[in-house]
Amino acid sequence: MKIFTSAQIHEHDKYTIEHEPISSVDLMERAAKAITHAIAERWAANTPVVVFAGPGNNGGDALAVARMLADKGYQVRVYLFNIHNNLSADCSVNRKRLNESKKIKSFSEISLNFDPPQLTEDTLVVDGLFGSGLNKPLSGGFASLVKYINQSPSKVVSIDIPSGLMCEDNTYNIRTNIIRADVTLTLQYKKLAMMFADNQPYIGKLQILDIGLSKEYADNTECKYCIVDEADIRTLVRPRPDFVHKGSMGNALIVAGSYGMAGAAVLATKACLRSGAGKVTTRTPKNNCMIMQIAVPEAVLSIDPDAEVLSESASADDIDALGIGPGLGQAETTAVALIGQFKRTHCPIVADADALNILANHRAWLQQLPKNIIMTPHPKEMDKLASNAANGDYDRLAKALDFAERHDAFIILKGHYTAVCTPQGKVFFNNTGNSGMATAGSGDVLTGILTGLLARGYSEEQACLLGVYLHGLAGDIAAGKLGKESLIASDIIDHLPMAFRSIQE
């Protein structure tokens, strides 16, 4: 699913109007019917409704919804804010239609002073003040109205996007001047702002409504951002031929673990094996040897001479993919061994955890990163790689994307909607996974999955998209059986076979 910018959303509407063809006011009517239906499914007709409509097309949607709710028997009070006596054409048409309706409880057009209605806990507020075209923070009377609505006990449903929230970049927005919706009914597609954790308090429960915008425009328009779905993933999965052997299924090397962190090596190695690699060799300190051989008997060990930390790089001859970083620690001998491992490795690489921390502390080494390296930072690790803390989630994603382009790297920025940033400047959001996966070792499992897929012969981009999706899907299957609270990293590995079967079938 593509994520269009606010400018593209406007063009999408325009293209639909011209090529369906359909008049703009009839397209608004179609959207209003979908919104009204969604509201009626959630709130009974005895719910008192207060509609706040702005002067643009979002306000026009709200006026049409008010009329349709009244036709369904709802008691609806409407407030249209026309401060500058300048309504959009379609908003003006719907004002006229509303005035002609005999079922609206009350209709007030505000041009100067506004005496706000009492908003009780039984009231439903329909927010149609501003839509996706907003490009600056709300101020003045509109900001005061937003604060009044937010302080009330009423439930709030926002049309398309909560008023005050901008479609893309809210880095310098005034957060107190954004509607805190309980439900957001967005039209046709998610907006980029809806993918970020710091905007979730304003969005509430999100429902996407199909209003029949042009499929031709959607198919033929390039997007910088998109959401990967199951249909996309199914096209990536490689069949496993019958006449193969372990040598033809890929040879992976996992460099992980320090004394006291053997579990990271165990998890990454197991996940790599479960992802289809024919052979997995794990390089780890001497003290981890017994733990590894008992926990993962299928793995081959490459034992570092140091008892507690990685001190020397491993041979990378005949290796098809390298995963490095989980549980390594940040000792200086380990840092030297890390850059040495990069230099002697000539196959795809996944760098995670302490590999990223070491690189962040040795910034000159960033220029020596191999092309198309996959890096899997969580937000704090990304901030360290970017050398300063991000000002919110949009800013962090922008820095991750810039890093990916400058260093010819794939950045997997982990989160609820994990973002795969490519060297070509595209972002793919993942839609699998759940909060139960916010547990120690989950990232180590992802490193193993990615390394296993690379060893199997997937390209770096394919491995990123498929690996992140499988990781989240295995977590979803595990949460379905065990619950989110009790989920641990090894549960994700245990449910990887079911995740593979799900997308293969």
Same domain, 271 and 337: yes
pLDDT tens for residues 152-184? 999 999 999 999 999 999 999 999 999 999 999
Say whether both 82 and 212 belong to one domain.
yes
- Asked if 295 and 332 sit in the same domain, the reply is yes
- pTM for the full predicted model: 0.96
Same structural domain for residues 278 and 160? no
Task: Write down which residue in 198, 223, 248 finishes a domain.
Answer: 223
Tell whether 215 and 238 lie within a shared domain. no
235 and 198 fall within a common domain: no
36-51 mean pLDDT:
98
Tens of pLDDT, residue by residue over 70-100, are 999 999 999 999 999 999 999 999 999 999 9
User: Do both 81 and 41 map to the same domain?
Assistant: yes
d(CA 214, CA 17): 9
Query: In a 10 Å sphere around its CB, with 0-12 CB exposed, 13-18 middle and 19+ buried, how is residue 426 labelled?
Result: middle
Structural domain total, the chain: 2
Query: Region 337-361: what's the mean pLDDT?
Result: 97
Mean pLDDT to the nearest integer, 429-440: 98
Backbone phi and psi for residue 253, each to the nearest 5 degrees, phi listed first:
-120, 125
Q: Are residues 216 and 239 in the same domain?
A: no
pLDDT-derived band of residue 505, with 50, 70 and 90 as boundaries? Answer: confident
58 near 35, Cβ under 8 Å? no
B/e letters for 215-250, b = 16+ CB within 10 Å, e = fewer, are eebbeeeebebbbbeeeebeebeeeeeeeeeeeebb
**What is the mean pLDDT of the segment spanning 408-415?**
98
The range of the structural domain enclosing residue 402 comes to 231-504
* CA–CA gap between residue 316 and residue 322 (Å, rounded): 8
Last residue of one domain, picked from the residues 170, 196, 223: 223
CA distances from 48 to 74, 180, 381 (A): 7, 19, 48
- Whether 179 and 99 share a structural domain: yes
Mean pLDDT over 341-365 rounds to: 97
What is the structure's pLDDT at 473? 98
139 plus 278 within the same structural domain: no
Residue 137 shares a structural domain with residue 274? no
The predicted-structure confidence for 250-270, as pLDDT tens digits, reads as follows 999 999 999 999 999 999 999
What per-residue confidence (pLDDT) applies to 228? 97
Mean pLDDT, the chain, as a whole number? 97
Residue matched to tokens 């997308």: 503
Convert the pLDDT of each residue in 95-132 to its tens digit: 999 999 989 999 999 998 999 999 999 999 999 999 99
Last residue of a domain, one of 202, 223, 244: 223
pLDDT at 220 over 90: yes
In the predicted model, what is the mean pLDDT of residues 143-159? 98
**So what's the pLDDT on residue 423?**
98
User: Which CATH number is 261's domain given?
Assistant: 3.40.1190.20
Contact 499, 477 (CB under 8 A): yes
CATH of the domain at 147: 3.40.50.10260
Is residue 414 located within the same domain as residue 497? yes
